[in-house]
Structure 1
Amino acid sequence: MSLLSLDPRTAPLFAESGCKESDSQYVLEAIGQAKSVTALARGRQGTDPVAVVVADGRMQVVSVGLRANLGHAFHGTGPVRLKAPIESLTLAVDQTPAGAYQSLLLHAAQGEFHIQQVPARAAERLQRALTPTQTPYSVPEPDRRVGFEPPAHEPDRDVAGPQDSPPTGPAAMDWRQAEQLAVWHLRYLGYHDARPTQAGADAGVDVHAVGAVAQVKHWAQPVGQPPLRDLFGVAQAAGARPVFYSHSGYTVAALEWASATRMALFSYSIDGQVIGHNTAAHDLERAARPAAGKRLGFFAQARADRYRQDQEKLRREIERLTALMQKRTQSRRPASRQAAGAAAPLLTGASRTLDAGDVLSPADRRREDTYKVVRDALTQVRRML
């Protein structure tokens, strides 16, 4: 059985939703073949647990928990069908011994729907997803599995800001996890080969990809100008785009300098939310949206994952053999030192060939030829050493 924490549509929202894995059957059955889920929350209508989900722009309220199969939740009907537009939505804080929750009050022509004990973050996301426009609209033809279908409309947006929020990335509780979040976000932006820089050799860069370098500061205070200048210098030398990630935002001077140099600035939270801080960052997000919609097919994605694993194994082997070669150069035996000297250019060539393969798209079959050349070179090195 599919789980909410594993389904790609609900996994980014699962941790904040308050839902349980036992709710998976009811929620996933309700959303059916929907392509995207923008909000997910668990609460209570009276004494009955329910899940509220917004999938492909439609809101559904689903009975969950032990009594779900009995159809006792929401007036005894299972999923509730809201036959009139939501006129307003109100959130109120509920202080309980377990922590702060919010109540979701949906006002519709047919009555009020009061859902209590909704986790605060999930309630805020629902509010953004369900807030209607001021323009009157007609009720669309109801779907058999759907509760409420809001009108197709274009919401007001900040011209300088991103049009949609990106999906939630991995948690960033410390600097190591923050670097992994930056890797995830760069890949979301289209830099599919993004990876962390090897420890001890970052030269001011924590994450790099073909065409982009990134620095991550998991600081408690805002980032100033100097780290931005350092990253900008490295990016200029590499002919790459500089991208900066900060846990605590930026100083005014840093924001002004980044705007003048068109450096993309992002901030992130420990729960994996990444937000653009300037126009350059918003431009990157806009450019990523068309590519994000064109996902790789199942077999192409599997091939891309295999290539990435092969690449990582080859890099580790190059590092291992390089350490062995350096050790051989200190040997008292002339034959060992001579073998190390002959192996050095082969290792350098293998590393450069592997780097050159990063220019290819993640699932490009030509990567196999690149990796074969690297493997052959490493086989020769192993024989020498």
Structure 2
Amino acid sequence: MQYISTPHQAELNAAERMKAWGFADAVATTGGSDGGVDVRSRDALAQVKFKGAVAGRPEMQQLYGAAAGGSQRLFFFSASGYSDQAIQYADQVGILLMTYDPLGEVDGVNQAAKRFLADVSVSPAAVEAPTDWKLVCALTAILIVVLSVTILLWWP
């Protein structure tokens, strides 16, 4: 992971995290007025605060307003943390508050974010893949036939 040293790198990090969480179409916005949204996905929006003071309630309200009553999940990523008023407001309207370190590691701040991260942190290896039993049976039958024919042809 590259050391995050610019606002754009922070936005790219947030977009990559969101992709890893299942928002495959997450894209960091580039340049210009973003209207409070730095990462967009069909199912999620995110604001990313790179440095400076803690994020406050006005930034939460801006992100919430950018969603305009849509059904998208709302994320706020901050390197500097959140004011108490920001956390209270985020809890009221359902914004998931995340902090990130200079290496891009993300932690949940409010309970909604912590629950979300716990849900998405299930290792892919721990999730059992579905088995296509018809395919398994068909391949087993083919193997039995091939072995039987081979034995009959080579048996003295």
- Report the TM-score range of the alignment, normalised by the length of the smaller protein: 0.7 to 0.9
Letter in 1 for 2:91: S
Instruction: Confirm or deny that 1:258 pairs with 2:90.
Output: yes
Partner residue of 1:212?
Answer: 44
Partner residue of 2:20?
Answer: 188
2 CA distance for matches of 1:186 and 1:177? 14
Instruction: Confirm or deny that 1:276 pairs with 2:103.
Output: no
8 Å CA contact retained: 1:231, 1:242: yes
Partner residue of 1:339?
Answer: none
CA RMSD in angstroms, aligned pairs only: 2.1
Higher strand share: 1
Residue 121 of structure 2 aligns to a residue in which SS? helix
Letter in 2 for 1:281: A
> Over residues 295-337 of structure 1, what are the superposed CA-to-partner deviations in whole Å (9 max), with x where a residue is unaligned?
9xxxxxxxxxxxxxxxxxxxxxxxxxxxxxxxxxxxxxxxxxx
1 CA distance for matches of 2:80 and 2:72? 25
Residue 282 of structure 1 aligns to a residue in which SS? helix
8 Å CA contact retained: 1:243, 1:265: yes
- Aligned-pair identity in percent equals 31
2 CA distance for matches of 1:185 and 1:198? 17
> Over residues 34-64 of structure 1, what are the superposed CA-to-partner deviations in whole Å (9 max), with x where a residue is unaligned?
xxxxxxxxxxxxxxxxxxxxxxxxxxxxxxx
Unmatched tracts of structure 1, length 5 or more: 1-168, 296-385
Letter in 2 for 1:211: D
Distance 1:292 1:210, change over 3 A: farther
Residue 234 of structure 1 aligns to a residue in which SS? helix
Count of matched residue positions in the alignment of Structure 1 and Structure 2: 127
Residue 254 of structure 1 aligns to a residue in which SS? helix
TM-score normalised to the size of structure 2?
0.73
Rg larger in 1 or in 2? 1
TM-score normalised to the size of structure 1?
0.31
The Cα shift of 1:239 comes to 2.5
Residue 102 of structure 2 aligns to a residue in which SS? coil
2 CA distance for matches of 1:237 and 1:170? 35
Instruction: Confirm or deny that 1:172 pairs with 2:18.
Output: no
Letter in 1 for 2:72: A
Letter in 2 for 1:199: G
Instruction: Confirm or deny that 1:203 pairs with 2:35.
Output: yes
Unmatched tracts of structure 2, length 5 or more: 128-156
8 Å CA contact retained: 1:195, 1:207: yes
8 Å CA contact retained: 1:171, 1:178: no
Distance 1:236 1:282, change over 3 A: farther
Distance 1:237 1:262, change over 3 A: closer
The Cα shift of 1:212 comes to 0.1
Higher relative contact order (CA 8 A, sep 6+): 2
Runs of 4+ off more than 4 Å: 291-295
